[in-house]
Structure 1
Amino acid sequence: MTEWAEFVDILGKSETSQEVKNLCLSINEDVNISIDPIEHNDPIGRTKYYSFIHSGIEIGFRGNILNHIHFYFNDEEGYGQYKGKLISDICAGWDKENILKTLGEPSLTGGGKMDMLLGYIDSWIKYQFKNYDLNFQFKQNGYLSRCSLISK
Protein backbone atom coordinates (compact mmCIF):
# COMPACT_ATOMS: atom_id res chain seq x y z
CA MET A 1 0.00 0.00 0.00
CA THR A 2 1.26 3.45 -0.90
CA GLU A 3 2.35 5.55 2.08
CA TRP A 4 0.99 9.03 2.77
CA ALA A 5 4.34 10.74 2.13
CA GLU A 6 4.45 9.22 -1.36
CA PHE A 7 1.10 10.80 -2.24
CA VAL A 8 2.29 14.18 -0.97
CA ASP A 9 5.63 13.93 -2.80
CA ILE A 10 3.99 13.19 -6.14
CA LEU A 11 1.90 16.39 -6.20
CA GLY A 12 3.08 18.72 -8.94
CA LYS A 13 4.70 15.94 -10.99
CA SER A 14 3.91 15.57 -14.69
CA GLU A 15 1.47 12.95 -15.89
CA THR A 16 4.26 11.20 -17.79
CA SER A 17 6.80 11.25 -14.94
CA GLN A 18 8.23 8.02 -13.59
CA GLU A 19 6.89 8.91 -10.13
CA VAL A 20 3.31 9.04 -11.42
CA LYS A 21 3.79 5.80 -13.35
CA ASN A 22 5.14 4.12 -10.21
CA LEU A 23 2.22 5.39 -8.12
CA CYS A 24 -0.32 4.06 -10.61
CA LEU A 25 1.42 0.67 -10.66
CA SER A 26 1.54 0.57 -6.85
CA ILE A 27 -2.25 0.98 -6.66
CA ASN A 28 -2.42 -2.34 -8.54
CA GLU A 29 -5.73 -1.76 -10.31
CA ASP A 30 -6.82 -0.99 -13.85
CA VAL A 31 -7.36 2.73 -14.24
CA ASN A 32 -10.35 4.46 -15.83
CA ILE A 33 -9.30 7.69 -17.56
CA SER A 34 -11.69 10.56 -18.28
CA ILE A 35 -11.44 14.26 -19.15
CA ASP A 36 -13.68 17.21 -18.28
CA PRO A 37 -16.00 18.19 -21.13
CA ILE A 38 -14.72 21.05 -23.26
CA GLU A 39 -17.86 23.00 -22.32
CA HIS A 40 -16.38 23.67 -18.86
CA ASN A 41 -14.23 26.39 -20.48
CA ASP A 42 -11.62 26.20 -17.74
CA PRO A 43 -8.87 28.79 -18.42
CA ILE A 44 -6.19 26.47 -17.01
CA GLY A 45 -7.31 23.62 -19.22
CA ARG A 46 -9.38 20.52 -18.91
CA THR A 47 -8.83 18.20 -15.96
CA LYS A 48 -7.86 14.62 -16.71
CA TYR A 49 -8.89 12.04 -14.12
CA TYR A 50 -7.31 8.70 -13.30
CA SER A 51 -9.98 6.76 -11.39
CA PHE A 52 -9.08 3.70 -9.36
CA ILE A 53 -12.67 2.74 -8.57
CA HIS A 54 -12.12 -0.29 -6.32
CA SER A 55 -9.28 1.35 -4.38
CA GLY A 56 -11.25 4.55 -3.64
CA ILE A 57 -8.70 6.88 -5.28
CA GLU A 58 -9.04 9.53 -7.97
CA ILE A 59 -6.02 11.42 -9.29
CA GLY A 60 -6.52 14.68 -11.21
CA PHE A 61 -4.17 16.37 -13.66
CA ARG A 62 -4.51 19.99 -14.76
CA GLY A 63 -2.21 21.13 -17.52
CA ASN A 64 -0.63 17.64 -17.38
CA ILE A 65 0.49 18.27 -13.78
CA LEU A 66 -0.81 16.22 -10.85
CA ASN A 67 -3.09 18.70 -9.10
CA HIS A 68 -5.14 16.66 -6.63
CA ILE A 69 -5.87 13.24 -5.20
CA HIS A 70 -9.28 12.31 -3.78
CA PHE A 71 -9.63 9.49 -1.27
CA TYR A 72 -13.14 8.04 -0.79
CA PHE A 73 -14.22 6.43 2.48
CA ASN A 74 -17.94 5.67 2.19
CA ASP A 75 -18.41 3.82 -1.10
CA GLU A 76 -19.63 7.09 -2.63
CA GLU A 77 -19.74 8.42 -6.16
CA GLY A 78 -19.18 4.89 -7.43
CA TYR A 79 -15.86 4.45 -5.62
CA GLY A 80 -14.93 1.71 -3.20
CA GLN A 81 -13.54 2.51 0.22
CA TYR A 82 -9.94 3.70 0.47
CA LYS A 83 -8.26 1.30 2.88
CA GLY A 84 -5.00 3.13 3.45
CA LYS A 85 -4.04 5.73 6.03
CA LEU A 86 -3.68 9.46 5.57
CA ILE A 87 -1.67 11.96 7.59
CA SER A 88 -1.46 11.01 11.30
CA ASP A 89 -2.96 7.57 10.52
CA ILE A 90 -6.40 9.01 9.69
CA CYS A 91 -8.45 6.33 7.92
CA ALA A 92 -11.97 5.01 7.29
CA GLY A 93 -14.15 5.10 10.38
CA TRP A 94 -12.74 8.37 11.71
CA ASP A 95 -15.15 11.15 12.51
CA LYS A 96 -14.80 14.92 12.53
CA GLU A 97 -14.10 15.07 16.27
CA ASN A 98 -11.20 12.59 16.01
CA ILE A 99 -9.64 14.53 13.15
CA LEU A 100 -9.97 17.84 15.01
CA LYS A 101 -8.35 16.30 18.11
CA THR A 102 -5.51 14.91 15.99
CA LEU A 103 -4.78 17.81 13.63
CA GLY A 104 -6.02 20.74 15.70
CA GLU A 105 -7.90 23.80 14.56
CA PRO A 106 -8.49 23.82 10.78
CA SER A 107 -7.72 26.80 8.54
CA LEU A 108 -11.30 26.91 7.18
CA THR A 109 -14.64 25.19 7.83
CA GLY A 110 -18.00 25.09 6.11
CA GLY A 111 -21.10 23.18 5.14
CA GLY A 112 -23.08 21.11 7.58
CA LYS A 113 -26.39 22.73 6.70
CA MET A 114 -29.39 22.59 4.43
CA ASP A 115 -29.54 24.65 1.25
CA MET A 116 -32.93 25.37 -0.28
CA LEU A 117 -31.69 24.51 -3.78
CA LEU A 118 -28.99 21.89 -3.19
CA GLY A 119 -30.29 20.06 -0.13
CA TYR A 120 -27.90 19.09 2.66
CA ILE A 121 -24.32 20.28 2.15
CA ASP A 122 -21.79 18.01 3.86
CA SER A 123 -19.62 19.68 6.48
CA TRP A 124 -15.95 20.12 5.66
CA ILE A 125 -12.71 21.29 7.20
CA LYS A 126 -9.57 22.46 5.46
CA TYR A 127 -5.96 22.42 6.63
CA GLN A 128 -3.32 24.43 4.81
CA PHE A 129 0.20 23.10 4.92
CA LYS A 130 3.35 24.47 3.31
CA ASN A 131 3.11 22.52 0.03
CA TYR A 132 -0.49 21.32 -0.04
CA ASP A 133 -4.01 21.74 1.26
CA LEU A 134 -6.01 18.95 2.82
CA ASN A 135 -9.81 19.02 2.74
CA PHE A 136 -11.91 16.58 4.76
CA GLN A 137 -15.61 16.11 4.01
CA PHE A 138 -18.08 14.49 6.42
CA LYS A 139 -21.53 12.91 6.12
CA GLN A 140 -24.41 14.03 8.34
CA ASN A 141 -23.45 11.37 10.88
CA GLY A 142 -20.06 13.08 11.31
CA TYR A 143 -17.98 10.32 9.71
CA LEU A 144 -15.29 10.97 7.11
CA SER A 145 -16.59 10.50 3.58
CA ARG A 146 -13.84 12.00 1.42
CA CYS A 147 -10.45 13.63 1.69
CA SER A 148 -8.79 15.75 -0.99
CA LEU A 149 -5.06 16.34 -1.17
CA ILE A 150 -4.50 19.44 -3.29
CA SER A 151 -1.29 20.92 -4.67
CA LYS A 152 -0.55 24.59 -3.99
Structure 2
Amino acid sequence: MNKDIMKCFIGKVIRIDRGGPESRIGKLLDVSDNLIVLLTEEDGVVYFNTSHIKSFTDNMKEQMEFNIKVPKDFKFKKAANFQDLLDTLKLKWIKINRGGPEKLEGVLCEVNNDFVFLINNGEIVRLSMSHIKSISYGVKIEKAKSKK
Protein backbone atom coordinates (compact mmCIF):
# COMPACT_ATOMS: atom_id res chain seq x y z
CA MET A 1 0.00 0.00 0.00
CA ASN A 2 1.22 3.46 -0.86
CA LYS A 3 1.91 5.45 2.32
CA ASP A 4 1.08 8.83 0.75
CA ILE A 5 -2.30 7.63 -0.53
CA MET A 6 -3.15 5.99 2.80
CA LYS A 7 -2.34 9.23 4.69
CA CYS A 8 -5.24 10.92 2.86
CA PHE A 9 -7.63 8.60 4.70
CA ILE A 10 -6.45 9.26 8.28
CA GLY A 11 -9.53 9.94 10.42
CA LYS A 12 -11.87 8.14 8.00
CA VAL A 13 -13.62 4.79 8.31
CA ILE A 14 -12.15 2.19 5.94
CA ARG A 15 -12.25 -1.57 5.40
CA ILE A 16 -8.95 -3.46 5.26
CA ASP A 17 -9.15 -6.32 2.73
CA ARG A 18 -12.45 -7.53 1.27
CA GLY A 19 -13.02 -10.56 3.49
CA GLY A 20 -11.32 -13.31 5.42
CA PRO A 21 -10.03 -13.52 8.98
CA GLU A 22 -7.85 -10.37 8.79
CA SER A 23 -10.50 -8.12 7.21
CA ARG A 24 -11.47 -5.27 9.55
CA ILE A 25 -13.56 -2.09 9.47
CA GLY A 26 -12.34 0.83 11.53
CA LYS A 27 -11.10 4.38 11.75
CA LEU A 28 -7.63 4.90 10.30
CA LEU A 29 -5.52 6.55 13.02
CA ASP A 30 -2.00 6.62 11.58
CA VAL A 31 0.18 5.57 8.64
CA SER A 32 3.94 5.05 8.51
CA ASP A 33 6.44 3.21 6.29
CA ASN A 34 5.04 -0.35 6.38
CA LEU A 35 2.45 0.08 9.12
CA ILE A 36 -1.09 1.39 9.49
CA VAL A 37 -3.05 1.82 12.72
CA LEU A 38 -6.78 1.08 12.71
CA LEU A 39 -9.26 1.53 15.58
CA THR A 40 -11.89 -1.23 15.36
CA GLU A 41 -15.03 -1.99 17.35
CA GLU A 42 -14.15 -5.66 17.85
CA ASP A 43 -10.43 -5.55 18.62
CA GLY A 44 -9.59 -2.00 19.68
CA VAL A 45 -6.38 -0.69 18.11
CA VAL A 46 -4.93 -3.02 15.47
CA TYR A 47 -1.56 -2.48 13.80
CA PHE A 48 -1.36 -3.86 10.24
CA ASN A 49 1.80 -4.74 8.32
CA THR A 50 1.03 -3.10 4.96
CA SER A 51 2.88 -5.76 2.97
CA HIS A 52 -0.05 -8.10 3.76
CA ILE A 53 -2.86 -5.68 2.88
CA LYS A 54 -4.42 -6.59 -0.47
CA SER A 55 -6.97 -3.75 -0.60
CA PHE A 56 -8.72 -1.05 1.38
CA THR A 57 -12.16 0.41 0.81
CA ASP A 58 -13.27 3.95 1.56
CA ASN A 59 -16.61 4.45 3.33
CA MET A 60 -17.97 6.87 0.69
CA LYS A 61 -21.66 6.06 1.20
CA GLU A 62 -21.40 5.80 5.00
CA GLN A 63 -22.49 2.14 4.80
CA MET A 64 -19.74 0.76 7.04
CA GLU A 65 -20.86 0.81 10.65
CA PHE A 66 -18.49 2.30 13.17
CA ASN A 67 -20.12 3.15 16.49
CA ILE A 68 -17.22 4.27 18.63
CA LYS A 69 -16.80 7.80 19.90
CA VAL A 70 -13.05 8.40 20.04
CA PRO A 71 -11.93 10.63 22.93
CA LYS A 72 -9.82 13.65 21.92
CA ASP A 73 -7.01 12.53 24.21
CA PHE A 74 -7.03 8.93 22.92
CA LYS A 75 -3.47 7.58 22.86
CA PHE A 76 -1.98 4.71 20.90
CA LYS A 77 1.54 3.61 20.05
CA LYS A 78 3.14 5.33 17.08
CA ALA A 79 6.19 3.99 15.28
CA ALA A 80 8.19 4.74 12.14
CA ASN A 81 7.76 1.15 10.90
CA PHE A 82 6.53 -2.31 11.90
CA GLN A 83 9.88 -3.38 13.41
CA ASP A 84 10.01 -0.27 15.62
CA LEU A 85 6.45 -0.95 16.78
CA LEU A 86 7.40 -4.47 17.84
CA ASP A 87 10.40 -3.13 19.75
CA THR A 88 8.07 -0.88 21.80
CA LEU A 89 5.83 -3.84 22.65
CA LYS A 90 8.49 -6.01 24.33
CA LEU A 91 7.29 -7.61 27.57
CA LYS A 92 3.64 -6.84 26.73
CA TRP A 93 0.82 -9.32 26.07
CA ILE A 94 0.09 -9.11 22.35
CA LYS A 95 -2.16 -10.81 19.83
CA ILE A 96 -0.71 -11.62 16.42
CA ASN A 97 -2.80 -12.26 13.28
CA ARG A 98 -6.30 -11.51 14.52
CA GLY A 99 -8.08 -14.46 12.90
CA GLY A 100 -7.70 -17.81 11.22
CA PRO A 101 -5.28 -20.61 11.99
CA GLU A 102 -2.27 -18.27 12.23
CA LYS A 103 -3.51 -16.32 15.26
CA LEU A 104 -1.28 -16.39 18.29
CA GLU A 105 -0.96 -14.54 21.57
CA GLY A 106 1.50 -14.26 24.40
CA VAL A 107 4.13 -12.05 26.00
CA LEU A 108 6.52 -10.62 23.41
CA CYS A 109 9.96 -11.32 24.85
CA GLU A 110 12.34 -10.78 21.92
CA VAL A 111 12.35 -9.15 18.48
CA ASN A 112 14.99 -9.36 15.77
CA ASN A 113 15.04 -8.83 12.00
CA ASP A 114 13.80 -12.36 11.25
CA PHE A 115 11.74 -13.58 14.21
CA VAL A 116 9.66 -12.59 17.22
CA PHE A 117 9.65 -14.72 20.36
CA LEU A 118 6.45 -15.10 22.38
CA ILE A 119 5.94 -16.83 25.70
CA ASN A 120 2.58 -18.53 26.16
CA ASN A 121 1.63 -21.34 28.55
CA GLY A 122 5.23 -22.18 29.34
CA GLU A 123 6.20 -22.41 25.67
CA ILE A 124 8.46 -20.14 23.65
CA VAL A 125 7.03 -19.64 20.18
CA ARG A 126 9.30 -18.32 17.43
CA LEU A 127 7.36 -16.68 14.62
CA SER A 128 8.85 -15.46 11.37
CA MET A 129 8.49 -11.68 10.94
CA SER A 130 7.35 -12.22 7.35
CA HIS A 131 4.21 -14.02 8.58
CA ILE A 132 2.96 -11.28 10.91
CA LYS A 133 -0.06 -9.59 9.34
CA SER A 134 -1.45 -7.69 12.31
CA ILE A 135 -0.84 -7.04 16.00
CA SER A 136 -2.85 -5.68 18.90
CA TYR A 137 -1.94 -5.34 22.53
CA GLY A 138 -5.15 -4.79 24.43
CA VAL A 139 -5.94 -1.09 24.08
CA LYS A 140 -9.68 -1.09 23.58
CA ILE A 141 -12.42 1.55 23.67
CA GLU A 142 -15.83 0.73 25.11
CA LYS A 143 -18.69 0.92 22.63
CA ALA A 144 -21.04 3.84 23.20
CA LYS A 145 -24.28 2.54 24.73
CA SER A 146 -27.38 3.51 22.80
CA LYS A 147 -30.25 5.12 24.72
CA LYS A 148 -33.63 3.42 24.48
Q: How does the TM-score come out when normalised to structure 2? A: 0.31
Structure with more contact order per residue of length (Cα contacts < 8 Å, sep ≥ 6): 2
Higher helix share: 1
Q: How does the TM-score come out when normalised to structure 1? A: 0.31
